[in-house]
A and B are shown apart, each in its own frame.
Chain A
Amino acid sequence: MFWRSLKERGIEAAIHVCGVSSIALVALIFVFLLKEGFSLFRSVPLNDFLLGRSWYPISDPPRFGILPLILGSCWVTLGAILLAVPLGLGSALFISEVAQGWAKEALKTGIELLAAIPSVVLGFVGITVLAPIIKHVFHLPTGLTALTGSITLAFMAMPTIVSITEDALAAVPRSYREASFALGATQWQTMHRVLLPAARSGIVAAIMLGIGRVIGETMAVMMVTGNSAVIPNTLLRPVRTLTATIAAEMGETVRGDEHYFALFAIGIVLFVISFVINVAADLFLHQERT
């Protein structure tokens, strides 16, 4: 009896440590990010950083304006979401409401497999297959554009959107469907008038998490978007994203250098963006439960 309670307590303590340590880790990372990132603002005003139009980190004097990078990330994300949301919702509706038997299982496995493809592989496919097609179709000087990045990332956001949406649809009570059919609604009417509104909060959360996935993605984007720090006015131009900038330049920087701090400051911006997105997704998910 004594041993048993001791064992219980030991396990409890271990789990407690695990739970607390993950929060502590996040907090420590955040503190480190803030400490390194804010050092930049001793020499570069916040306004020049966020709204500056030129990113020349290694020139003398260096210029750290990340507006083109923020807009680059926004364009790529916007394009990816415009592509991934309709596709994802469609697939989720099909899988959860229409497909039967083995087709349903095969599709579910397929979508999960899509999530398992490493991003560098998708990037490679993007650069060798997609970029030449885009260049040819739109008669562009180069195929490495925001659109190429958007399409590549749409494939990465889709699995997230599909599986969460599908869960949300599955959680809609069976009686809703039956009531709708009993009133003489067709399957499509049921889906878009009853199921989608009923699963709305889950779907919004799915989209938010999809956006989070896209905006934080680095490798594929770095490979296919061309990385030029211009302020983009169309999806058919090369762009440079926040994540690709950190990944491409961190090797160059020396600890304690302005450039090093600037990359951390970009990290803060990314952190804030994904934090906002996650909180929004969380709010929607909770709304569903209450």
Chain B
Amino acid sequence: MKKRQVVLALGLIFGSGIGCAQAEDLAGSIQIKGSDTMVNLCQAWAEAFMSKHPDVTIAVTGGGSGTGFAALIAGTCDLAASSRKIKPKELTLAQKKGAEPIEEIVALDGLAVVVHPSNPVKQLTLKQLADVFTGRVLNWKELGGQDAGIVLLSREVNSGTHVYFKEHVLDVDASQQEFAPQALLLSSSQAIADEVASNTSAIGYYGMGYLNPKNATVAVAKSEGDPYVLPNEATVQSGEYPISRPLFLYARTEQQGLIKAFLDFAKSPDGEQIVRSTDFVPVVHTNP
């Protein structure tokens, strides 16, 4: 009788233990691909998540938001990191291949416009920015700076940052503006930061995460008369800073299991701490 009770108790303990292990311990692998802007962020999330769940492996690769969507459509990644919304064209292609991409806003990012610290031009309106980047304004003199040609620095077309800037700054009056052809297309945000640091007449843009003391940040106003705002956590969350954007993770279909757990983690307070530590801004509504 006693023996049987012990066996039963042991069975209960082990059984519950196994039950717990099944609910707690996630195993498997996730492939995240896409936005270069988000590589550091995703990598930090992945590392924290993997140290919590040792049986999970997460691989993060960059290449640009378009690359991420291409991979998501082709089925070679589980999550696409993107700094822009999925295009209708990509959505139809994805649906053709049997995917139903689910969108999740995981962080916010202010696009900083930067110049060399010695440049006296420290504030611009959106309209002026559009004029500069489309090549209607060619000399710093016209903006109150020294007499020097403006060197435009942009990202390559596979960058979500490029697309966002084109759609939200150049097309500010929905007029299908293009980047001036003489704009230099650099292959990384770091390359822009380096070029701005060494070139007194350059102007460039990148995600806030790349801000550094060797680049001067330009305060941006929506239009003339509005206040000039610098990008920081408060102004980006409140939407006061005019060029800020949501950052997305796209799942291939309705998320479940491991992928859902990872997305939940990204939006948890721990995940938000990681967002802050990689110089992005947490999404407002889940902010404690």
Contact = CB atoms under 8 A, between A and B. Distances in A.
Interface in B151-180: 151, 156-158, 163, 176, 178
Interface in A118-156: 132, 135, 141-142, 144
B181 A248 contact: no
Given A227-B186, A230-B181, A252 B201 contact: no
A209 to B, nearest CB: 28
A55 B186 CA distance: 16
A52 interface: no
Contacts of A223: 187
B157 A238 contact: no
B198 A254 contact: no
A232 to B, nearest CB: 10
A60 B178 CA distance: 10
Contacts, number: 84
Given A59-B176, A141-B199, A253 B70 contact: yes
B70 A254 contact: yes
B189 to A, nearest CB: 14
B184 interface: yes
B12 interface: no
Nearest to B185: A227
Contact of B149 (A59, A141, A229, A255): A141
A135 B201 CA distance: 12
B74 interface: yes
Interface stretch (B48-56, B59-67, B211-219, B264-272): B59-67
Contact of A222 (B66, B157, B163, B187): B187
A188 interface: no
Contact of A60 (B176, B183, B184, B202): B176
A54 B181 contact: yes
A57 interface: yes
A117 B273 CA distance: 43
Contact of A59 (B69, B89, B178, B195): B178
B70 A252 contact: yes
A253 B66 contact: yes
B182 A230 contact: yes
B184 A142 contact: yes
A141 B202 CA distance: 8
B73 A229 contact: no
A228 interface: yes
B70 A228 contact: no
Contacts of B181: 54-55, 68, 228-230
Contact of B202 (A142, A237, A248, A256): A142
B9 interface: no
A56 B166 CA distance: 12
Nearest to A60: B176
Interface string A237-261: 1101000000011011111110000
Contacts of A251: 63-64, 66-67, 70, 158
B182 A248 contact: no
A255 B67 contact: no
Interface of B: 63-64, 66-67, 69-70, 73-74, 89-90, 93, 148-149, 151, 156-158, 163, 176, 178, 181-187, 195, 198-199, 201-202
13 contacts: A54-B178, A54-B181, A56-B178, A68-B181, A132-B198, A141-B148, A141-B201, A226-B185, A237-B182, A248-B187, A252-B64, A252-B158, A254-B66
Interface of A: 54-60, 68, 132, 135, 141-142, 144, 222-223, 226-230, 237-238, 240, 248-249, 251-257
